[in-house]
Structure 1
Amino acid sequence: MVCVPYAGGGASAFWDWPDLLGDSVELWSAVLPGRERRFGEPAVTEAALIAAPLAEAIRAEIPKPLVLFGHSMGGLLAFDVARRLGDQVEHLFVSAAKAPHLAFGGEPHLLDDDGLLDWMTTLGGVPADLLAHREMLGLLLPTLRADLTVCAGFHGVRDVIDVPITAFSGTDDPLATVADVAAWQHHTVAGFDLVVRPGGHFYLKDDPAAVTSALRSATAREGVQ
């Protein structure tokens, strides 16, 4: 399983998942430009500049059976990667992400720094201990803004893939409603499931075990493991 993080997030968002997924799943986490060990690289604003090299790295390093998971921006990028990899991907899991043909909404990437920080804090995407470190936040905001520009760039994409999609939604997500997430059904010809969990945009932080359990069940049904 290759996991792709949300806007402003990194591979560390999935560090607790290996124990939850069990020994039958080998977890890989994408480290994107502008964060963690790639902090010195500028974040990019075009999905293709992330998805194309990520797809190439997966093709070179990770054998079948392969599934992809992405949360929020990560869901959109995972979809782009799945489109590029074709039948190498057995299943795509998207989480808290509007279907790509829908407008991202609100244009948060155009907000000033204070407005952008308020927007992300309202969604629950800024850890409380980080809010006290304004200098660190100032270093992270350009990457967050670039990521949100990537999200906005998907508006109108109507590609359809021959890969099953399971979409996860939080009941109280103000950014990607259940209906927004359910619209992923229009982007696959290989089967679609919707899993609704209690919580907001970062519902998976509240009960990661429930999410990883649903992932294990879905992959087992498809015979991936």
Structure 2
Amino acid sequence: MTAHPWLRRFRPRPAARFRLVCLPHAGGGANAYRSWVSALPHTVDLVCVQYPGREDRFGEEPVDDMATVVDAVSRELAPLLDRPYVVFGHSMGSAVAYELARALRDGGQPEPERLIASGRRAPADAPPGRVHLADDDALVEELLRLGGTDREVLAEPALREVVLSYVRNDYRLIERYRPFPGPPLTCPVSVFLGEDDPEVDARLARRWSDTTTAGVDVRVFPGDHFYLAPRRKQVVSALVNRIDPSLAHGSGAWPSTP
């Protein structure tokens, strides 16, 4: 077992000026962000959260409680907050990112320079759900509705059973979550989303203004709930621009990538 089971750094950059902490969606793992390493400038160190029960933590029991996840990640992440950092989360990961940023602050760490929430309504606006209580066929229909999961995987009985086990766990976590008490953030918040996302639109995205005393901006990309994969280059560019505009305008060494 690694000394840092909750964090993955696919290509550590100890001399980087910024750290980018990324949290996956329900059913996702750290590998969702692996391809971002080559797209980021060398001045940004990518740190990805790995939930248990999937990928290289497949043999571990999944965790279905937001407070437990936030506490574990904040303890492992704290030693890496020796420089400015930004937190990015997609879908369920947006809610985890928000609570993580507040937990770090409440534990004496600096807030992130910015929170970037992707593909999700503001925490107080997300309606309670019952998908985690549904049968397997209904859970499959939900995954197909949102996209992002191969039909071939869900059609193979053994793989389907494995995937649904941790997906159901994550739905149980996020559908039972309610915002923790405490003051809002003081850092800026950006919200990214796909224009055809069935879960959130630009109007709802602006409601993230309730999570911070600073400003909120909204960026809409072509695509659906999982717009990130086909729009990786544009997403990373927009993200880097919000980390430090000078990086996005060429003053940072940004290697060319496919």
TM-score, normalised via structure 2 length: 0.81
Aligned residue for 1:2, secondary structure, equals strand
Q: Kindly provide the amino acid, as one letter, of the partner of residue 82 in structure 2.
A: P
Distance 1:107 1:216, change over 3 A: same
* 1:113-136 deviations in Å (ceiling 9; x for gaps): 111011111211212442342211
Structure 1 segment 65-214 matched on structure 2, within 5 A: 65-86=84-105, 87-104=110-127, 106-155=129-178, 160-214=184-238
Deviation string, structure 1 residues 28-86 (Cα, Å, up to 9, x no partner) = 11111111121122212210110111011110234221111100001100111000112
Q: 1:87-130 CA deviation, whole Å, 9 max, x = no partner?
A: 24211111001110013355211211111011111211212442
Please give the alpha-carbon distance, in whole angstroms, between the structure 1 residues aligned to 2:180 and 2:127.
Answer: 12
For 1:179 and 1:41, the matched residues in 2 are separated by: 39
Aligned equivalents of 2:164, 2:147: Cα separation in 1: 15
Unaligned runs of 5+ in 2: 1-19, 253-258
Give the conservation status (yes or no) of the 8 Å contact 2:111–2:187.
no
- Provide the secondary structure at the position in 2 that maps to 1:89: coil
1:6 aligned to 2:25?
A: yes
Return the offset for 1:179.
2.5
Report how far residue 187 of structure 1 moved: 0.6
Residues 20 and 160 of structure 1, relative CA distance in 2, 3 Å threshold: same
CA distance in structure 2 between the aligned counterparts of 1:153 and 1:38, rounded to whole angstroms: 23
Would the aligned equivalents of 1:72 and 1:96 in 2 still touch at CA under 8 Å?
yes
Report the 3-state secondary structure (helix = DSSP H, G, I; strand = E; otherwise coil) of the residue aligned with 2:113: strand
Q: Which residue of structure 2 lines up, in the alignment, with residue 34 of structure 1?
A: 53
Name the CA distance, whole Å, in 2 between partners of 1:9 and 1:117.
15
Change (3 A) 1:222 1:146: farther
Please tell me whether Structure 1 or Structure 2 has the larger radius of gyration of its CA atoms: 2
Q: Which moved more, 1:21-30 or 1:73-82?
A: 21-30
Gaps of 5+ in 1: none
Structure 2: distance between partners of 1:221 and 1:160: 25
Q: What is the one-letter code of the residue matched to 1:116?
A: L
How has the CA–CA distance of structure 1 residues 222 and 55 changed in structure 2, closer, same or farther, with 3 Å as cutoff? farther
TM-score (norm 1): 0.92
After TM superposition, the structure 1 = structure 2 runs for residues 31-70 of structure 1, keeping only pairs within 5 Å, are 31-70=50-89
Say how many residue pairs are matched. Answer: 224
Letter in 2 for 1:161: L
Look up the match of 1:218.
242
Identity %: 35
